[in-house]
Amino acid sequence: MVSVFLSGLLATLVAQTVDAYVVPQGKLPDLHKLGTQDYLFPYLAGAAPYFSFPGNYGIPTTAPEGCEISQLQVIARHGERYPTTGRARRLFSTYYKLSNYTREFNESLSFLNDDYTFFISDSNNIEQETTYKNSLDVLNPYTGQRDAEKHARQFLDEYSALLENTTSFPIFAASSRRVHDTAQFFSKALGEKYNVTLQVVSEAPTSGANTISAGNACPGWNESANANITDAFSTDYLKNIASRLNRQNKGLNLTQTDAFNLFNWCAFEINVRGYSYMCDVFTQEELINYSYYDDLTSYYQDGPGYDMIYDVGSNLFNASVKLLKQSEELDLKVWISFTHDTDIVNLMTTIGLFDNGVKLDPTSVPFRDLVYRKSWQTPQGARLYTQKYKCSNETYVRYVLNDAVIPLESCKSGPGFSCPTTEFYDYAADRMNGRNFYKSCDVASVSNVTELTFYWDYNERHYNDTLLNQ
């Protein structure tokens, strides 16, 4: 009797356990593709999942022998995500064209014959972080959620000593929902030992200079300011893709715009599903052209090729330098913020991390002299660390981008190729000399907030802004 009861109970328990862990769908051959396309990430214009910076000089990211970290600042992008509204609209238009094709697909598009389902299956996911829950394959190793959790563990592994006497501290997030969600996944993954208060700082233009996302509060910024330069880049690689696919599939009428959209399809499908057969459409040469086009447009829209960007990036750089100077007085040793890719790119432009003075050439793909590789700088989940450390009685600053130390070319005489703070503060003042975010961006037309204060007044103000699906 008892054993019948027990085996019944056991069966129920097993059934419940199995139910809770149903691993759904996914065709068997897809398993071989899942998580195997990392080699493509550096070519996918920062839309693919996280990867460590490929231009790593081999400098250890830990503080050099005899040095101790005194402050760490982290500025990170949100994690892997679904496409934005605009991208999704363009992707759907290409998808509809393909889904209306009535013949069998050939060669690289033949995967579409096998009851393929498009990777945006619920429009509520547009703009949002990919999670264990909204991912199209539970075995997807690239969810933004997992990336943030992994990042948190890596952060603790390297820097938990800085939190030795701190159990309650803030983490700052721009008010985009995916940015907030990333910050929350990161915070939770730090574990119960820490009591993190998320400070959600508005990224609406009305927040003016008091923002992590200066790009959103810059009415003066003009996406097309340098379009006359970037438009000179040849679109032959896109035309070749379209004509190849049209030749292989009679009656298919893909345009060069469709070809461009297919790169995004490839990248975002990996974020959502963990693999994408669409990536097999491109040759390596086409991927190189595509990634350089991203470097080029970013350079002239958000980087050193657009003078105003030095002003935009100065909003965060100025705050960062202020925190560095105050490190002795401040209780907190770790300042963690989450935002968008362009804000990090703007900041790195003002810092001068990837600028050798050579303007990017729109007429051909450069190789030897190309240091501004935006397609490598801010993948999903990108993270820029500012380290301040003390060795004997001297203090030093240096930057670590996506697991790689990137020395400042004109100031690297310190241990670990760092910049002595005495020199660094002059260097920073020089970079920001004459720069003014509020003025240059015409922020006055949307806000009267002239200063970034959230790092200093969060305790009184407790930032808790409404989340935006943008």
Ligand X SMILES: Cc1ncc(C[n+]2csc(CCOP(=O)(O)O)c2C)c(N)n1
Query: Where does this chain bind ligand X (CB under 6 A)?
Result: 77-78, 215-216, 218, 221, 301-302, 312, 340-342, 346
Residue 184 tokens read as: 């929350």
How far, in Å, CA of 302 to CA of 343, rounded? 9
- CB 294, min distance to ligand X, A: 12
Burial annotation 25-58 (CB, 10 A radius, 16+ → b, else e):
ebeeebeebbbebeebbbbbbbbbbbbebeeeee
In DSSP terms, which residues pair with 411 in a beta bridge?
408
Instruction: Kindly tell me which of 37 and 271 has the beta carbon lying closer to ligand X.
Output: 271
CB 339 within 8 A of CB 380: no
Q: Tokens at residue 304, please? A: 């050193």
CB 50, min distance to ligand X, A: 12
Nearer to ligand X, 171 or 245 (CB): 171
**In angstroms, what is the minimal distance from the CB of 71 to ligand X?**
25
Min dist CB 225 to ligand X, Å, is: 10
**Would you state the structure tokens that stand for residue 458, as one six-digit string?**
């969060």
Cβ proximity to ligand X: between 259 and 382 the closer is 382
Annotated active-site residue 457? The verdict is no
341 catalytically annotated:
yes
Cα 310 to Cα 72: distance, rounded to the nearest angstrom: 23
For the CB of residue 319, give the shortest distance to ligand X in the complex, in Å: 17
Catalytic residue among 78, 151, 180, 340, which?
78
User: Rounded to 5 degrees, what are φ and ψ at 239?
Assistant: -60, -40
- Cβ atoms of residues 59 and 417 within 8 Å: yes
Nearer to ligand X, 327 or 339 (CB): 339
From the list 258, 295, 311, 341, the catalytic residue is 341
The DSSP secondary structure of 20-50, one letter per residue, reads HT------GGGGGTTT--GGGGGGSTT-SPP
Instruction: Decide whether 156 or 225 has the Cβ nearer to ligand X.
Output: 225
Whole-number Cα distances in Å, 54 to 43, 50, 131, 405, 424: 11, 12, 26, 11, 26
Least distance to ligand X from the beta carbon of 179, Å? 7
Nearer to ligand X by C-beta: 289 or 339? 339
Catalytic residue positions, numbered: 78, 341
